[in-house]
Structure 1
Amino acid sequence: MTSGPGAWITLEGGDGSGKTTQSNLLAGWLTDEGHTVVRTREPGGSEVGQLIRDIVLHHRGDIAPRAEALLYAADRAHHVATVVRPALARGEVVLQDRYLDSSVAYQGAGRVLDATEIRNLSLWAAEGALPDLTVLLDLDPTTARTRLDSADKPFDRLEAEKAEFHGRVRDAYLALADAEPERFLVLDAAASTQEIAALVRARVAALLAPR
């Protein structure tokens, strides 16, 4: 995606895999190294995206699977155009919670839609944009559910799905990583926080060194 001093890094994984914790640690390290970091997320990385996030994650009624996929794609189109591309053009490091791989995993496998169609929809919405690095925090759904339960907070629509749904999501993520090993860094999310952070920093340092 980028050829200048900036970089685009996304974090992926099932709910409860520790993306927020690792994002916080990576952002702090990058800032200490002198980089300007733009932290964002999908859905909800813009004002328009926040409105979409409220619908797809907190709407009380059912949303048809295809409508849900289109809402995520609409958020992605606006987010990439107004947040991601401008930050990269300024040479900043974009650190993002979830991108199109989440749509392929959650709407494709989870909702049992066509994964290729979901990916193509996202690529069309984002004009083909892909991150420089995607960190996938892999965790089995049972452990993830235990972590979510211990957090003692209400589940959103996706977190509340059954174990079979989250099993399909995990399998889809691993298949995506197998298909694009040059973009993905797959890490065992059951490892210690500091061990994971060190592996992420090493990969990011290698990514940024030529820049």
Structure 2
Amino acid sequence: MGEGIDTRGLLRLMAWLSPAFPVGGFAWSGGLERAVADRMVTDAGGLSAWLATLLAHGALWNDAVLFAEAWRRVDDEAGLADLADLGLALAGSAERHAETLSLGRAFVSAAAAWPQAVLARLPQDVPYPVAAGAIAAAHGVPVEEALAAYLHAALSQSVSAGIRLGVCGQAEGVVILAGLEEAIAAVSARAAAGTLDDLGGAAVRADIASLRHETQHSRLFRS
């Protein structure tokens, strides 16, 4: 970790990544709903393994790299615009594209409660990790701490989706999050020290699940 986060930065980070922050994250599952429907994830152990794979090799890893790069480009308007375009292009399906764009726009809009010049530098069409990374940097939140909180919030949302889908109970969900702590810390450190050359993934089944969700007849989630 870096020098650490001050109390005001911590409070803002907690607000931005709280389930109560109005970005609408509860409406999306990132393809998990289809994975459950196709019996690729059937229990708490399967959900934990699914999330660990996304974190190390899938969409969450790429999000972490984009977040860290946005944090570094906080003062570079053209650089943020290019990064936003790249982040949207990396979305593996139409619904994943809609998810990251919807969350990104909502995050910027809600974060305007804490005025910062970076809000004017961000493009209108901005993926969620780019928006969150740049805004965290503008408020002086250290990159590793910000990344760890961002990834923990994303995983918490996925666990909540798993509970709603009947894969696990609340107590099991807490155990899953506890078990992912070391992986979150490791990925946060690796992404913070990485570059765009580190983008890439191998979570093929998750990408296919996301694509198949677009044609699922009965759904609880939008992705």
Q: Relative to total residues, which structure has the larger helix share, 1 or 2?
A: 2
Give the TM-score normalised by the residue count of structure 1: 0.31
TM normalised by structure 2 equals 0.30
**Higher RCO (CA 8 Å, separation ≥ 6 residues):** 2
The structure in which a higher percent of residues are strand is 1
